[in-house]
Amino acid sequence: MKFTDIRYLRTEKLIFDAFAKLLSEKPYEKITVQDIADEAMINRATFYAHYADKDELQKGIQQQVLGEMSAMIDGAQITNGNRVKVKRAEKLLADFYHDLEKNSAIAKIVLRSISQEIMQEKFGTLLHEKYDHLLAKLNVTESGEQAPTEFIVAYLTSIFTGTLLWWIKSDFAMPAKELARLVLTLISNGHLTVMGVIIDRED
């Protein structure tokens, strides 16, 4: 069965929604496959046609979120050498936030099933994968000492993951576009320029 099959996708949503609801009611460790199947009103065989167990479901959701972000980064083309196109970056973030808001069950599963530390690590890996060429050009010094690249990655990903988790916990209190603008404003007005990044505010 293709992953684009409408019945498959509908069942995926039922599973995600059921998992999110259960996570709001009890700890992950106490949730069983039968609980998820009952909440989604499907049988266990249907669940197992999608996932081997709840751990695979959790990892699948996390990978889906990261995969969507990766695809968006590829399409956005926000860097050129050591220049960052802020408007494109803002649209990239706004689109990512908007997709999470539309699929709030997935967002809440990610929030409840992954620590900020692990999320930061995963986004750090993605940052390296997509922007190693830019990271290699950064020049941040303190008292004549070069700041390690991993320190810069940790700093940037902590801002992103911290604000993302706050937003999900707040039940999406701020519009996606406004959140994206605020995050990019905070980062681009000083943080990136100090690191040697050229901010391009043109389209």
pLDDT digits (tens, 9 = 90+) for 59-73: 888 787 888 888 888
Nearest to 36 by CA among 100, 159, 25: 25
pLDDT of residue 2: 44
Calculate what percentage of the chain has a pLDDT beyond 70.
85
Instruction: Give domain status of residue 5, yes or no.
Output: no
Q: How many CB atoms lie within 10 A of CB 49?
A: 12
Domain that holds residue 160: 78-200
For 39-45, what is the mean pLDDT? 96
Give the alpha-carbon dihedral of 133, 134, 137, 139, to 10 degrees.
-150
Whether 140 maps to a domain, the answer reads: yes
Does a structural domain hold residue 186? Answer: yes
The per-residue pLDDT for 176 is 94
Asked whether residue 34 is assigned to any structural domain, the reply reads: no
Q: Between the CA of residue 6 and those of 37, 105, 136, what are the distances in Å?
A: 19, 19, 44
Whether pLDDT at 53 is above 90:
yes
Mean pLDDT of the 79-103 span = 85
Inside any domain, residue 97: yes
pTM: 0.73
pLDDT above 90 for 40: yes
Domain tally, the chain: 1
Asked, for residue 65, whether it belongs to a domain, the answer is no
Residue 72 inside a domain? The answer is no
pLDDT of 76 above 70: yes
Domain contains 83: yes
Instruction: Please classify residue 142 by burial: count the beta carbons closer than 10 Å to its beta carbon, then call 0-12 exposed, 13-18 middle and 19+ buried.
Output: exposed
The reported pLDDT for the residue numbered 42 is: 97
